[in-house]
Amino acid sequence: MSQSMGTEEAIKRWDNFAENYSENHTEQGDLHKEIFLNPALFSLMGNVKNKKVLDAGCGEGYLSRILSKRGAAVTAVDYSPTMIEIAKERTPKELNVHYSHGNCEDLHQLEDKSFDFIVSNMVIQDLADHEKAFRTMYRLLADKGIFIFSILHPCFVTPESGWERTENGEKLHWNVDKYFYEGVYEQPLGDKENMLLFHRTLTTYINTLIHTGFVLESIIEPQPSKDMLKKYPSFGEDFRCPDFIVFKLRK
């Protein structure tokens, strides 16, 4: 896979996929967000009432709408123009969400120290330059501000990973390979689009965050709750290994 494939190509693919991607999002997001990511994000975030929050890479905007309903003043950015259009269409005027088009690696249109919280849900593995993105988030946060982000778990979701199955399709165990490869790879999403993902080791993520100046406060490797398992029993297999990791950092 050519290392020259970067953020622009990744976003072209997101833009083509935006309509399909948004179709399976309710006001709780998709199933993975409802079961794993939302409980983790909200437990780390606490009370957002009257806080200035940036949703960095907002997609179709479900998280921005939830945050706004919880009393936050939300700015939401995405680099896919179609995602931003869909998010605007889906967001009632009375919600306090300001959407704009922008690349999380830069966001020059936003002022230094203008947010209390930044949340970025499943975005950082989709962009080529995580160092620039982390520096941008650091710049945009007020002193002591909080940055919470989720990504595919880099120890388990690698450029070559997946279930080892029997001939009958029964799942035996989860295989992981190419962990130390760092760079771009393709992953199918839906039946049409091959998305670009950028793999980094856990060491790279954590060291980059530390070098940027962040203090690591907490991490969560989300598992389904009892209530969620009752609602969606097939997610029991997610006790075997985590798909996601969520970081909470302080400036």
Ligand X SMILES: C[S@@+](CC[C@H](N)C(=O)[O-])C[C@H]1O[C@@H](n2cnc3c(N)ncnc32)[C@H](O)[C@@H]1O
- Minimum distance, C-beta of residue 137 to ligand X, in the bound complex (Å): 11
Alpha-carbon separation of residue 59 from 15, 82, 158, 221 (angstroms): 10, 9, 23, 22
In the three-class reduction of DSSP (H, G, I as helix; E, B as strand; rest coil), residue 242 is classed as coil
Task: Return the percent helix, strand and coil in the chain, to nearest 5.
Answer: 35, 30, 35
- Our CB check for ligand X shows the closer of 104 and 245 to be 104
Give the nearer residue to ligand X in terms of CB position, either 27 or 177. Answer: 27
Q: How far apart are CA 240 and CA 221, in angstroms?
A: 12
Q: CA 179 to CA 93: how far, in whole Å?
A: 45
104 or 249, CB closer to ligand X? 104
Q: List contacts with ligand X (CB under 6 A).
A: 7, 10-11, 14, 29, 33, 57-59, 62-63, 77-80, 83, 103-105, 121-123, 126-127
- Residue 8 or 177 having the CB closest to ligand X: 8
Which tokens in the block code for residue 117? 């919280």
Tell me the closest approach of the beta carbon of residue 33 to ligand X, in angstroms: 6
Minimum distance from residue 15 beta carbon to ligand X (Å): 7
Written as one letter, the residue type at 37 is L
* Shortest distance (Å) from residue 59 CB to ligand X: 3
Query: Could you say which DSSP state residue 236 is in?
Result: G
CA distance 139 to 181: 29
> Smallest distance, Å, CB 217 to ligand X?
21
Of 7 and 161, the one with the shorter C-beta distance to ligand X is 7
Residue (of 13, 31, 30, 33) closest to 22 by Cα position: 30
User: Which single residue brings its beta carbon nearest to ligand X?
Assistant: 59
- Closest to ligand X by CB, 68 or 121: 121
Least Cβ distance, residue 166 to ligand X (angstroms): 31
Hunting for tokens 């905007």 — which residue is that?
61
Neighbours of 82 (CB within 10 A): 17
